Amino acid sequence: MSIGFIMLCHTALDRAAEVARHWAGRGYPVVLHVDRRVSKQGYARLTRLLADLDNVRFSARHRCEWGTWSLVAATQQASELMLREFAGVRHVYLASGSCLPLRPVEELEAYLAAHPRTDFIESVTTEDVGWTVGGIDVERFTLRFPFSWKKNRAAFDWYVSFQRRIKFKRRIPDGLVPHLGSQWWCLTRQTLSAILQDPDREAYDAYFKRVWIPDESYFQTLTRLYSTNIESRSLTLSKFDFQGKPHIFYDDHLQLLRRSDCFVARKIWAHADKLYDTFLHGTGAQQPKAEPNPGKIDRLFAKAVERRTRGRPGLYMQSRFPNENWENGRTCAPYSVFAGFTELFEDYETWLSKTTGSRVHGHLYAAKRVEFAGGETVYNGAMSDSAKLRDYNAQAFLTNLIWNTRGERQCFQFGPADTQYLGWFMALDQNAQISVISGAWAVPLFRSNLDFAAIRKEAARLQKIEGDFLNVLRSPYVKARIRIWTMAEFVESPMEPLQSIIDEINPRALRRLAEAPKMVDLTGFGQFLQNLKNQGMQPLLMGDFPVGDLPRSPGARRSRPYLVK
Amino acid sequence: MGLWNSYVLRLARRRWRFRAFRKRRELKPVVNRTGIIGRHDILVFSTLRNERVRLPYFLQYYRDMGVNHFLFVDNDSDDGSREYLIEQSDCSVWTTKASYKRSRFGVDWLNWLQTRYGHNHWCLVVDPDEFLVYPFCDTRSIRALTDWLDASSIRSFGAMLLDMYPKGRLDAQPYREGTDPFEIANWFDSGNYTIQRNHRFGNLWIQGGPRARAFFPQEPERAPALNKIPLVKWHRHYTYTSSTHMLLPRGLNLVYDEWGGEKASGCLLHAKFLDTFTRKSAEELTRRQHYANSHEYRAYAAGLKDDPDLWCKWSEKYINWRQLEILGLMSKGNWA
């Protein structure tokens, strides 16, 4: 008989009784503290359940409210009772009613016997803890907290900020260095009795009664005064979420708990029958004795916290709909937008798809219908090619597409003839790679068979739209990777820009571009622009095309463009 | 939100509650076993009309999940639904011949029953063709969920409506009583949903899925809403305002995170598209008891006439909740 267990019980008393019986039945004394808020009948039932065990005691009941002194007072009295009644106890283990022993208690005894003078209590200075809720750490010890955080949050917050404003500070008793830590500890008789029998205890108690959440700091601080050997960790496996409430274990955590090699876990769901059955009554194959190793569980819960606080980037769904700029990534993966490339090159989409191995769509935002790759009418995620559906929520269309095709890079064409809602959205999206050959929309007009008056009108319209788009792309707030060339620049040396785009899409590809896409025949384009000018329009975005000069067609002789033929 | 606005919404809530109070007269108790409801019981509320064939599986599904009591409003069924429910020891049944439409599609009736019997209980409001899926539903009962929600001080739990459909014609495989409808209708659309925020009520407005794709490609704004908040720790002052899409007070509608995180959420698998659907939509068309002049049903009738296949090659086959989680249709939040 070397370990005594103190259990603080609030709810699920039957489960607490099961666990108490587990320990007491094996000869380890248990002292239970039952919350005063538990009904008379509930308490009576619990005492009846454990009546046959002579090493179970019930300590004086306190009304326990979260974050208040009552929990410490309850622990103190239970500890005193334990030390007084059971002289053989060397270590006192503080547990709760929803704790569950994961390994045979004899193993715990052996473990503690191997560390006879060690106090297992998480005890960290306030400067070093990052987990305090509400950003209140050292202030727990220097402010006053007359209002309940749970029931009267507004008053609590107001009073805290008021004290901050008037720079109120309580004096911390001499000799105390505030420490915080998990409230579940295992202390040696020596340390615990020293704390409880301290001549200054009254002063300390008076001080801690006004500290916020003293159950996480009273023993953690006072242990530092007496213990010769503190192991600053808790033997109880207990994880907290981002709001500071404990994670709960269910039946499906069985294997994780088994492999954690921890001695006691908290908190167990009261209806997790399989867990209680397995760990309390199961024979359980004897595993080799190992140090507690909650790594896997840590990761599981760390991931849960991450999911709750940061979420999956680029996902918009029923329970994640971030305000603008809080998306943590507007879309979930990089994608490329090309403006003017299909106009300038023949069969550009096939070429791009072959070169980069990515999915290349046509004009996704075309006015008539969504031009999915391969002319599909429905695409990944069952997205429809209806332009009406797309335009109903153009932004969701893009974010959905990128989300649905995770793992495959998407490229699509864009131009001034398309639906234009998305300029700003893409410009502010760091996943977007936008490449524009400005003015290339004129090429289809140039090759079309329309009346010149109609062409002129359409050209003016498209130029205006593209001009607006370019203005957006040139804004100082832009996050996308943006490249803009005038058509004249691009035609002059197409390979270099293409290479840089491809390199960015596919940074690990070592090969230089071998095959260039074929440029459309631009003979007479300069004259076409001059005609537009003659009709009173000012084609600006194409850059300077000399009238009458034949732009060199690619694939012809690799001559320097400024050499006169 | 300004004081004025919250005052207006408060008035609206009063009005809905009063309306529900008036509509209580339309409900005639058939069998009232609410006396056996325990203090912590989880309740299901449902309105139905002629759903006899669905009921056995519906009851079994939710009983297995851990629901303790069912409260039904039977809207003048003539196919034996009522008689079947009377025999069930965990069901209480009310019946009415009054207009479904005039009770705002059953909302008023259920609001009243919830006020009366749902106070301080976790209440799940679902139609007989809606099946709740929540994180870990294969290993944890719904009480695990509600206990966790209680511990986290969360009062309402969102579950998007996910339309399920079969591959091939809807009427190719008849649904047999007592069987799992998702053995037939086991396909869904995984990624074509659009979301807008409803600033007045603070809820999200989700549309999309096969119904928007097949029936409303030309007028997407009329596609049915898919956002639902079916599970609420009820207080008698709460009220559903429009189906289970939104509630007042509006804090209950905040089942989504606005700062980048994910809250826990589930899905309501919708077994609407079975062989029963064609018959039902023809009937509803003549009854004209549905939302917006049964516009939805008119669109269905038109869409189904020539091409009754909702399946496409990008449809996703349903496996389990984890699949829905990975696809981003629901989330575990910080429940682990």
Could you tell me the residue ranges of all domains in chain B? 3-326
How far is the alpha carbon of B139 from chain A, nearest alpha carbon, in Å? 6
- B-chain CB neighbours of A314 within 8 Å are none
User: From the list A308, A380, A403, which residue is nearest B262 (CB)?
Assistant: A308
Residue B266 CB: number of other CB atoms within 10 A?
A: 29
Domain count, chain A: 2
Give the closest residue to B220 by CA, choosing from A404, A397, A386.
A386
Q: Quick one: pLDDT at residue A428?
A: 93
In this prediction, residue A555 has a pLDDT band, given cuts at 50, 70 and 90, of very low
- B-chain CB neighbours of A403 within 8 Å are 191, 328
Question: Same domain, yes or no, for A423 and A474?
Answer: yes
Q: Quick one: pLDDT at residue A1?
A: 53
User: From the list A303, A317, A392, which residue is nearest B331 (CB)?
Assistant: A317
Q: Quick one: pLDDT at residue A563?
A: 38
Question: Same domain, yes or no, for A114 and A48?
Answer: yes
What mean pLDDT comes out for the span A196-222?
A: 89
User: From the list A315, A382, A389, which residue is nearest B190 (CB)?
Assistant: A382
User: Is A171 within the bounds of a domain?
Assistant: no
CA distance B165 to B187: 5
Residue A565 has pLDDT above 60, yes or no: no
User: From the list B196, B221, B256, which residue is nearest A318 (CB)?
Assistant: B256
Q: Quick one: pLDDT at residue A281?
A: 84
Question: Same domain, yes or no, for A115 and A263?
Answer: yes
In this prediction, residue A356 has a pLDDT band, given cuts at 50, 70 and 90, of confident
Decide if A318 and B206 are in contact by the 8 Å CB cutoff.
yes
Closest chain B residue to A250 measured between Cα atoms? B140
Q: What is the helix (H) or strand (E) element at residue A485, kind and residue range?
A: strand A481-486
What are the residues whose beta carbons fall under 8 Å from the beta carbon of B297, sequence distance 6 or more? Answer: B281, B284, B285, B290
Look up residue A446 and give its amino acid: F
Q: Is the peptide bond before B249 cis (omega within 30 degrees of 0)?
A: yes
Residue A516 DSSP label:
P
Q: Quick one: pLDDT at residue A564?
A: 40
SS3 content of chain B, % helix, strand, coil (to 5): 35, 20, 45
Residue A468 has pLDDT above 50, yes or no: yes
Q: How would DSSP label each residue in B108-174?
A: HHHHHHIIIIITTSEEEE--TTEEEE-TTTTTS-HHHHHHHHHHTT--EE-EEEEE-B-SS-TTSSP
CA distance A256 to A294: 9
**Residue A233 belongs to a domain with what CATH number?**
3.90.550
Q: Which CATH class is domain B3-326?
A: alpha beta
Q: What is the helix (H) or strand (E) element at residue B212, kind and residue range?
A: helix B209-215
Q: Quick one: pLDDT at residue B168?
A: 85
Sign of CA dihedral A345, A347, A350, A354: negative
- B-chain CB neighbours of A151 within 8 Å are none
Q: Quick one: pLDDT at residue A148?
A: 81
User: From the list B143, B260, B329, which residue is nearest A310 (CB)?
Assistant: B260
**A203 and chain B: CB distance < 8 Å anywhere?**
no
Best mutation site among B154, B189, B219, B262 for testing chain A: the one with the most A CBs within 10 Å? B262
Block residue for tokens 């300390």:
A204
Question: Same domain, yes or no, for A263 and A389?
Answer: no
Q: Quick one: pLDDT at residue B308?
A: 65
Residue A374 has pLDDT above 70, yes or no: yes
Q: Quick one: pLDDT at residue A196?
A: 92
Closest chain A residue to B206 measured between Cα atoms? A318
Question: Same domain, yes or no, for A252 and A399?
Answer: no
User: From the list A309, A317, A380, which residue is nearest B314 (CB)?
Assistant: A380
How far is the alpha carbon of A257 from chain B, nearest alpha carbon, in Å? 13
Q: Is A323 exposed, middle or buried (0-12, 13-18, 19+ CB in 10 A)?
A: exposed
CA distance A248 to A135: 24
Residue A561 has pLDDT above 60, yes or no: no
Predicted confidence (pLDDT) per residue in B224-247, tens digit: 999 999 999 999 999 999 889 999
CA distance A176 to B105: 66
Question: Same domain, yes or no, for A110 and A208?
Answer: yes
**A400 and chain B: CB distance < 8 Å anywhere?**
yes
Decide if A316 and B195 are in contact by the 8 Å CB cutoff.
yes
What are the residues whose beta carbons fall under 8 Å from the beta carbon of A469, sequence distance 6 or more? Answer: A339, A416, A420, A423, A436
Q: Quick one: pLDDT at residue A559?
A: 41
Say how many CB pairs under 8 Å bridge A and B.
Answer: 176
**Residue A387 belongs to a domain with what CATH number?**
3.40.50
Residue A412 has pLDDT above 90, yes or no: yes
Q: Which residue ranges in chain B fall short of pLDDT 70?
A: 1, 290-294, 303-308
Best mutation site among A319, A325, A372 for testing chain B: the one with the most B CBs within 10 Å? A319
More confident residue, A293 or A91: A91
Q: Is A1 exposed, middle or buried (0-12, 13-18, 19+ CB in 10 A)?
A: middle
Block residue for tokens 């069998």:
B31
Residue A556 has pLDDT above 50, yes or no: no
Domain that holds residue A237: 3-131+178-292
Contact B61, B131 (CB under 8 A): yes
Decide if A392 and B192 are in contact by the 8 Å CB cutoff.
no
User: Is A512 within the bounds of a domain?
Assistant: yes
Least confident segment among A349-353, A548-552, B204-208: A548-552
Residue A213 CA, distance from chain mean position? 27
CA distances from A267 to A247, A270, B14 (A): 7, 9, 41
Contact B75, B45 (CB under 8 A): no
User: From the list A241, A303, A319, which residue is nearest B257 (CB)?
Assistant: A319
Q: How would DSSP label each residue in A191-248?
A: HHHHHHT-TTHHHHHHHHTTSSSGGGTHHHHHHHHH-S-EE-S-SEEE-B-TTSPBP-
Question: Same domain, yes or no, for A352 and A483?
Answer: yes
What's the complex ipTM? 0.91
How far is the alpha carbon of A333 from chain B, nearest alpha carbon, in Å? 15
| Domain final position from A237, A267, A292 | A292
Block residue for tokens 């090759």:
A447
Question: Same domain, yes or no, for A267 and A371?
Answer: no
Decide if B217 and A316 are in contact by the 8 Å CB cutoff.
no
Least confident segment among A170-179, A389-398, B112-121, B316-325: A170-179
What mean pLDDT comes out for the span A178-206?
A: 90
CA distances from B141 to A31, B64, B137, B319 (A): 33, 8, 6, 19
In this prediction, residue A558 has a pLDDT band, given cuts at 50, 70 and 90, of very low
Predicted confidence (pLDDT) per residue in A256-314, tens digit: 898 888 899 998 999 999 999 999 887 655 566 678 888 888 898 999 999 999 999 99
Q: Quick one: pLDDT at residue A544?
A: 84
pLDDT, mean over chain A:
87
User: Is A258 within the bounds of a domain?
Assistant: yes
Residue A320 DSSP label:
B
Decide if A252 and B331 are in contact by the 8 Å CB cutoff.
no
- A-chain CB neighbours of B164 within 8 Å are none
User: Is A560 within the bounds of a domain?
Assistant: no
Q: Quick one: pLDDT at residue A288?
A: 63
CA distance B311 to A492: 49
